[in-house]
């Protein structure tokens, strides 16, 4: 394996992570790493297995989607060197690059960290990329800029031991205003900026999520003061980590924990956990994510638009007045969220020429947003973007379709998202061209039920599926309607209506749009029209779309997915977006030892706060190992703690100086955190780890005799 070249500009914690990834890869390739444990490890470092054998997707973590021109160039350069000729913008305001060799990922990461970009916790059972309204800082409706708060959340929980190996991923958003443009309703935690009596704070939404069983978030607070949002979030994550499901991935999100125990009971657990929270209040350092102002350039040569009609359409759909007088935001529609690396470099050059602020935002609908464009720079910027193919009108309109990569690269993809999106965009361009001005109907497509394309939050959503006819299988799309927002910005989850062959997606969509044009009221939003028709006749949309479900007589090309040439074969690999479950006793004991090593390192660094939680994990993982050795099912951390008392302490297999395991372990949320407590808790974890080794030896001996 080649020697790593890490710039001196990379901080020590990041350098350690990169070197560790390199070491673990080498060990794995030599057979020294358990495959499942290694998968969990690399996922939390942004390295995700692709559908194609032997290559990885790299997810680049960009807090609230913010990029500088130089950082965009660095990503393009890295993609050219290690991946392909293009990059992909995601619905979580990340950038992904594909077809990377596993052995190249550490150096790729080092090259990105040199530009202040990380892969840490971009995937896996961690706090994922924190998203925020792309217009944050310039939104006329906002009470304040949420960007520093999104960045503060990202910094606080990055490498925080409480959220490194949870039961599942955890998603967070920050919306600039009541318009909820960051979709708080579908997040584990969603923060909506508010001011009350001159004080900043947030409306807080808790427990939302999409996937196979989408649920709307519930209101936790109508107003939470700004200094309390981090302590509350830490308590929520601690409760989720301890009480959340871990054995069944399909039930391991926060929404399921809340559904299981009830929202009020969940909030009570959060209140109890506040004792353990290190920082009882938290002040955000706004200088860490200050709004980048306009460029120094104030004069621009007078130009004529290269295409006057296109310019007018672009100006009407892709240019937004900022709250700062005389400045505009310019949005860039990226088809399927993709942009070629060379095009990205040229876009960065335009920004560096002073046409916009050096503050690019990746948007949640897979595009880009530029800030602080002067009015007399609009024509010049349009001409330059048009030369790059980046001046397509209709940003965030019906014609701007959100789609995950689907079967192109994802292990879980069932049907082609890209292909269906391309066909619908063609259809809209040819038959419904006025929809570039419609910002009410949003189309979102996911290749499977996991909803990376957010189909359940769409006015018109499509989910990849299959239809079987005799011995053959054809790609299909489930049509969902009524998700997202209505006219009053009330959020809803889309309803499943019918499943149609993928090749009929255009016909079904055309029928839907024609019915909307004919039967909607003047100025009626799509979701209001949908609800009104459904209330009058609950079978209305099923009846409308049912003709397109008929497969009694279909042409051969229906068995070929969009963009393919060969007949469709359903091939689903092992999904990695949710991490993995580790269940080997020996592996778990090694993991407990590793947790304690992290606690030791934290004590040596004088970050005793981290040492407390690493010590807690030492207890829990060590107990889980012994329970699994007795074939005791371990679904949650709190279950492990209770079961260990019943199986080992109460039965006399282990003595903890007369104290129950639960009382010993859960000191961390009963005692105020301090250096003194950290030292004693750390020592108790060390002693317990020694007892685990003794108990495991006796366990093996006893089971050997019994067998």
Over residues 302-351, the pLDDT tens digits come to: 999 999 999 999 999 999 999 999 999 999 999 999 999 999 999 999 99
* 98 alpha carbon, distance to own chain's centre: 17
Is the pLDDT score of 570 beyond 70? no
9 touches 112 (CB < 8 A): no
Q: What is the mean pLDDT of residues 669-697?
A: 94
Is the pLDDT score of 575 beyond 80? no
Across-strand partners of 299?
none
247 touches 633 (CB < 8 A): yes
Give percent above pLDDT 70 in the chain: 97
Q: What is the mean pLDDT of residues 445-461?
A: 91
| H-helix or E-strand spanning residue 59 | strand 56-60
Predicted local distance difference test score (pLDDT) of residue 35: 82
The Cα–Cα gap between 121 and 131 comes to: 14
Q: What is the mean pLDDT of residues 267-271?
A: 97
Is the pLDDT score of 56 beyond 90? yes
Q: Can you read off the two tokens belonging to residue 442? A: 């949003």
Predicted local distance difference test score (pLDDT) of residue 590: 85
CB-CB neighbours of 321 under 10 Å:
13
Judged on CB neighbours under 10 Å (0-12, 13-18, 19+), 35 is exposed
The Cα–Cα gap between 663 and 233 comes to: 24
> Which residues in the chain are classed under CATH 3.30.413.10?
139-289, 402-559
Is the pLDDT score of 576 beyond 70? no
319-321 β-sheet, strand order: 66-67, 360-362, 368-374, 327-332, 319-321
The Cα–Cα gap between 35 and 40 comes to: 9
577 touches 123 (CB < 8 A): yes
Is the pLDDT score of 582 beyond 50? no
585-706 is classed in which CATH architecture?
A: Up-down Bundle (1.20)
Cα atoms in the 13 Å half-sphere on the side-chain side of 199: 11
Q: Can you read off the two tokens belonging to residue 94? A: 């990340």
DSSP state of 456: G
Cα atoms in the 13 Å half-sphere on the side-chain side of 695: 27
Is the pLDDT score of 6 beyond 70? yes
Label residue 148 by pLDDT band (50, 70, 90). very high
- Burial of 606-635, coded b for 16+ CB within 10 Å and e otherwise, reads eebbbbbbbbbbbbbbbbbbbbbbeebebb
97 touches 75 (CB < 8 A): yes
Predicted local distance difference test score (pLDDT) of residue 584: 64
The Cα–Cα gap between 138 and 163 comes to: 32
- The model carries a pTM of 0.92
Predicted local distance difference test score (pLDDT) of residue 71: 98
Mean pLDDT of the chain: 93
CA dihedral 516, 520, 526, 531 (to 10 degrees): -110
Q: What is the DSSP string of 122-172?
A: SSSSSB-PPEE-TTTTT-TT-SS--HHHHHHHHHHHTT-GGGSS-SS-B-E
Predicted local distance difference test score (pLDDT) of residue 563: 82
Q: What is the CATH number of domain 308-387?
A: 3.30.70.3340
368 touches 360 (CB < 8 A): yes
Indicate the SS3 state at residue 297.
Answer: coil
* Fold exhibited by the domain 139-289: Sulfite Reductase Hemoprotein; domain 1 (3.30.413)
DSSP state of 613: H
Indicate the SS3 state at residue 288.
Answer: helix
Predicted local distance difference test score (pLDDT) of residue 405: 84
Predicted local distance difference test score (pLDDT) of residue 411: 72
Predicted local distance difference test score (pLDDT) of residue 581: 36
Q: What is the CATH number of domain 402-559?
A: 3.30.413.10
Predicted local distance difference test score (pLDDT) of residue 707: 53
Which pairing describes strands 360-362 and 368-374: parallel, antiparallel, or unpaired?
antiparallel
The Cα–Cα gap between 484 and 232 comes to: 27
485 touches 443 (CB < 8 A): no
Q: Report CA-CA distances (Å) from 453 to 99, 413, 427.
A: 21, 11, 20
Predicted local distance difference test score (pLDDT) of residue 571: 56
Q: Report CA-CA distances (Å) from 281 to 188, 234, 277, 278, 330.
A: 21, 11, 9, 9, 37
* 562 alpha carbon, distance to own chain's centre: 27
Q: Report CA-CA distances (Å) from 24 to 1, 229, 550, 692.
A: 12, 36, 52, 25
Is the pLDDT score of 57 beyond 90? yes
Q: Report CA-CA distances (Å) from 462 to 187, 245, 332, 509, 539.
A: 20, 29, 24, 10, 19
The Cα–Cα gap between 554 and 547 comes to: 13
Label residue 245 by pLDDT band (50, 70, 90). very high
289-303: pLDDT as tens digits: 999 999 999 999 999
Is the pLDDT score of 1 beyond 60? no
Is the pLDDT score of 652 beyond 50? yes
The Cα–Cα gap between 626 and 192 comes to: 44
Is the pLDDT score of 412 beyond 80? no
Q: Report CA-CA distances (Å) from 524 to 26, 419, 441, 444, 610.
A: 59, 30, 11, 21, 53
Q: Can you read off the two tokens belonging to residue 535? A: 């209330």
The Cα–Cα gap between 9 and 1 comes to: 23
> Which residues in the chain are classed under CATH 1.20.120.330?
585-706
Predicted local distance difference test score (pLDDT) of residue 115: 96
* 272 alpha carbon, distance to own chain's centre: 28
Judged on CB neighbours under 10 Å (0-12, 13-18, 19+), 30 is exposed
Label residue 580 by pLDDT band (50, 70, 90). very low
- Closest by alpha carbon to 73, among 343, 353, 354, 293? 343
> Which residues in the chain are classed under CATH 3.30.70.3340?
308-387
466-514: pLDDT as tens digits: 998 888 889 999 999 999 998 899 999 999 999 999 999 999 999 999 9
517-546: pLDDT as tens digits: 999 999 999 999 999 999 999 999 999 999
Judged on CB neighbours under 10 Å (0-12, 13-18, 19+), 272 is middle
Judged on CB neighbours under 10 Å (0-12, 13-18, 19+), 485 is buried
Q: What is the DSSP string of 683-707?
A: HHHHHHHHHHHHHHHHHHHHHHHH-
Across-strand partners of 195?
200
Predicted local distance difference test score (pLDDT) of residue 249: 77
Sign of the C-alpha dihedral computed for residues 415, 92, 141 and 335 taken in this order: negative
The Cα–Cα gap between 36 and 115 comes to: 31
Q: What is the mean pLDDT of residues 160-183?
A: 95
Q: What is the mean pLDDT of residues 64-92?
A: 97
């Amino acid at each position: 394996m080649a020697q790593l070249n890490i710039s001196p500009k990379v901080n020590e914690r990041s350098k350690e992570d990169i070197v560790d990834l390199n070491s673990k890869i080498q060990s794995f390739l030599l057979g020294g790493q358990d495959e499942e444990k290694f998968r969990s490890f690399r996922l939390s470092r942004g390295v995700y297995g692709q559908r194609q054998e032997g290559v990885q997707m790299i997810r680049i973590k960009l807090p609230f989607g913010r990029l500088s021109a130089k950082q965009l160039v660095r990503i393009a350069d890295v993609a050219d060197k290690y991946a392909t000729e293009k990059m992909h913008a995601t619905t979580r305001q990340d950038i992904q690059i594909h077809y990377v060799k596993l052995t190249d990922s550490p150096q790729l990461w080092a090259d990105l960290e040199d530009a202040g970009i990380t892969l840490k916790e971009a995937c896996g059972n961690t706090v994922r990329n924190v998203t925020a309204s792309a217009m944050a800082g310039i939104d006329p409706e906002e009470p304040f800029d949420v960007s520093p708060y999104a960045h503060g959340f990202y910094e606080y929980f990055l490498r925080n031991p409480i959220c490194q190996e949870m039961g599942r991923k955890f998603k967070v958003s920050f919306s600039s205003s009541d318009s909820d443009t960051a979709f708080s309703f579908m997040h584990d935690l969603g923060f909506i900026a508010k001011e009350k009596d001159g004080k900043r704070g947030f409306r807080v939404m808790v427990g939302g999520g999409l996937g196979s069983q989408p649920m709307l978030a519930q209101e936790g607070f109508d107003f939470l003061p700004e200094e309390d949002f981090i302590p509350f979030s830490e308590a929520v994550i601690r409760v989720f980590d301890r009480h959340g499901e871990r054995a069944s991935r399909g039930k391991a999100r926060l929404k399921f924990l809340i559904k299981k125990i009830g929202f009020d009971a969940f909030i009570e657990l959060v209140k109890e956990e506040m004792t353990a929270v290190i920082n009882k209040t938290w002040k955000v350092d706004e200088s860490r994510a200050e709004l980048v102002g306009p460029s120094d350039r104030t004069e621009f040569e007078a130009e004529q638009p290269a295409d006057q009609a296109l310019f007018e359409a672009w100006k009407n759909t892709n240019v937004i007045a900022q709250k700062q007088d005389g400045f505009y935001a310019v949005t860039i529609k990226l088809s399927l969220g993709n942009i070629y690396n060379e095009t990205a470099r040229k876009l960065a050059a335009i920004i560096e020429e002073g046409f916009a602020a050096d503050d690019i935002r990746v948007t949640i609908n897979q595009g880009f947003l530029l800030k602080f464009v002067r009015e007399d720079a609009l024509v010049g910027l349009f001409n330059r973007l048009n030369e790059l193919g980046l001046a397509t009108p209709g940003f965030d309109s019906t014609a701007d379709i959100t789609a995950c990569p689907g079967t192109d690269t994802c292990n879980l993809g069932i049907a082609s998202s890209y292909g269906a999106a391309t066909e619908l965009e063609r259809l809209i361009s040819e038959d419904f061209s006025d929809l570039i001005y419609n910002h009410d109907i949003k189309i979102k497509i996911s290749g499977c039920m996991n909803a990376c394309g957010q189909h359940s939050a769409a006015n018109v959503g499509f989910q990849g599926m299959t239809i079987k006819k005799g011995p053959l299988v054809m790609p299909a799309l489930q049509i969902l309607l009524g998700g997202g927002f209505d006219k009053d910005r009330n959020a809803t989850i889309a309803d499943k209506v019918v499943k149609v062959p993928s090749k009929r997606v255009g016909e079904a969509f055309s029928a839907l749009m024609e019915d909307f044009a004919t039967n909607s009221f003047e100025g009626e939003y799509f979701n209001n029209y949908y609800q009104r028709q459904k209330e009058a006749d609950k079978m209305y949309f099923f009846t409308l779309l049912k003709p397109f479900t008929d497969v009694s007589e279909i042409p051969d090309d229906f068995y070929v997915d969009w963009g393919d040439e060969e007949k469709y074969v359903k091939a689903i690999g092992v999904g990695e977006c949710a991490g993995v479950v580790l269940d080997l006793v020996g592996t778990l004991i090694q993991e407990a030892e590793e947790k304690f090593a992290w606690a030791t390192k934290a004590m040596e660094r004088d970050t005793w706060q981290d040492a407390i939680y690493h010590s807690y994990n030492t207890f829990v993982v060590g107990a889980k190992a012994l329970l699994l050795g007795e074939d005791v099912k371990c679904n949650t951390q709190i279950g492990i703690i209770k079961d260990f008392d019943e199986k080992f302490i109460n039965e006399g297999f282990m003595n903890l100086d007369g104290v129950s395991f639960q009382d010993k372990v859960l000191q961390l949320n009963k005692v105020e955190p301090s250096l003194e407590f950290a030292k004693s808790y750390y020592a108790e974890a060390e002693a317990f780890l020694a007892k685990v080794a003794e108990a495991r030896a006796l366990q093996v001996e006893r089971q050997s005799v019994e067998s």
